[in-house]
Amino acid sequence: MHAPLIEAHHLVKLYTMGEETVHALDGVSFSIPRGGYCAIVGPSGSGKSTLMNILGGLDTPTHGRLVIDGADIGALDDEGLARFRNRTVGFVFQSFNLLPRMTALENVELPLIYAGVDAKQRRAQAEQLLARVGLAERMSHKPTQLSGGQQQRVAIARALAGKPALLLADEPTGALDTRTGQEILALFNELNREGATIVLVTHDVEVAAAANRTIEMRDGRIVADHANERTPRHDAHV
């Protein structure tokens, strides 16, 4: 637990739009230890989504060095990135991104399919994870038969499948009402206390306050990086 899970050195991401070159990331450096719970905040266009995509192995930095769980992201090819996304990170999206034709159980099994886990083991793991997020009774429901909060719980269970080192959440409460959003954040807190490293991207300062640490971004740079006061409210639901 001593070596940081994420080490970012001077990350630069350039996009060329016609004649213009946009610095989506303009020299971003930070590190997050194992077991950390960090929120990345900033207005749209601040580069937080780009940073999130790079942390998740969906994109690679133009310059700079990013090491996550010992893997140099910039050096991975498509196959290496796919393996990284499969084994090292778990995504939670704002719009859940569950496949509508599949049951909750099948959605959670999806990353395990790409890991090559056999069907029996896959089913056992998925059942365990759904029970963990409180959906033991809803395993064979399709996403449309679940509430928003329940859908996000399925998505979190899916993100946890394959025991990733890092949980990446992109506006996980953005599509939920306040109360349900609080429940999801409480679940993150719980998972963090059980040892999960979580990076949460949001534009909502209140949501960011749920994390232990906040990195504020603006125009592709980090403008602030501070530890959060733990407010009793966030722990109350746990």
Partner 1 sequence: MMRTSDLVASAARALRANPMRSALTALGVIIGVASVVAMVALGSGAQAQVERSIASLGSNLLIVVPGSFRGAGGVRGQAGGWDSLTLDDANAIAAQVEGVLVVAPSQRSRAQVIANGLNWNAQVEGVTPAYLTARDWEIAEGRFFDETEERQARRVVVLGATVARELFPNVDPIGETVRINGGAFEVIGILESKGQTGFGMDQDDVVLAPFTTVKRRISGRNRRADTVSQISVKAVSEDVLRQVEEDVTDLLRQRHRTREGEDDFTVQNLSSITETAQQTTQVFTYLLGGISAVSLLVGGIGIMNIMLVSVTERTREIGLRKALGARQADILHQFGLEAVALSVAGGAIGLVLGVLGAWLMTSLFNLPLVIAPQNAIMAIAFAGLVGVLFGAYPAWRAAKLDPIEALRRE
Note the residues at the interface with partner 1 (CB under 8 A): 53, 56, 58-59, 78-79, 82-83, 85-87, 91, 93, 97, 99, 101, 110-111, 113-116, 118-119, 158, 162
* 3-class DSSP assignment, residue 189: helix
Q: What are phi and psi of 192, to 5 degrees?
A: -65, -40
CA-wise closest residue to 108 among 133, 137, 79, 85: 133
Work out how close the CB of 84 gets to partner 1 at its nearest, in angstroms, rounded to a whole number: 8
- Is the CB of 114 or the CB of 140 nearer to partner 1? 114
Work out how close the CB of 200 gets to partner 1 at its nearest, in angstroms, rounded to a whole number: 17
- Is the CB of 119 or the CB of 227 nearer to partner 1? 119
- Is the CB of 88 or the CB of 150 nearer to partner 1? 88
Q: Angle at Cα 83 formed by Cα 192 and Cα 69, nearest 5°?
A: 45
- Is the CB of 119 or the CB of 224 nearer to partner 1? 119
Work out how close the CB of 101 gets to partner 1 at its nearest, in angstroms, rounded to a whole number: 6
Position 53: which residue type? Answer: N
Q: In this structure, what token pair is assigned to residue 153? A: 């719980």
Work out how close the CB of 203 gets to partner 1 at its nearest, in angstroms, rounded to a whole number: 16
Give just the sign of the alpha carbon dihedral 112, 114, 116, 118.
positive
Work out how close the CB of 217 gets to partner 1 at its nearest, in angstroms, rounded to a whole number: 18
* 3-class DSSP assignment, residue 151: helix
- Is the CB of 98 or the CB of 209 nearer to partner 1? 98
Which DSSP symbol is given to 114? Answer: H
Rounded Cα–Cα distance for residues 95 and 41 (Å)? 18
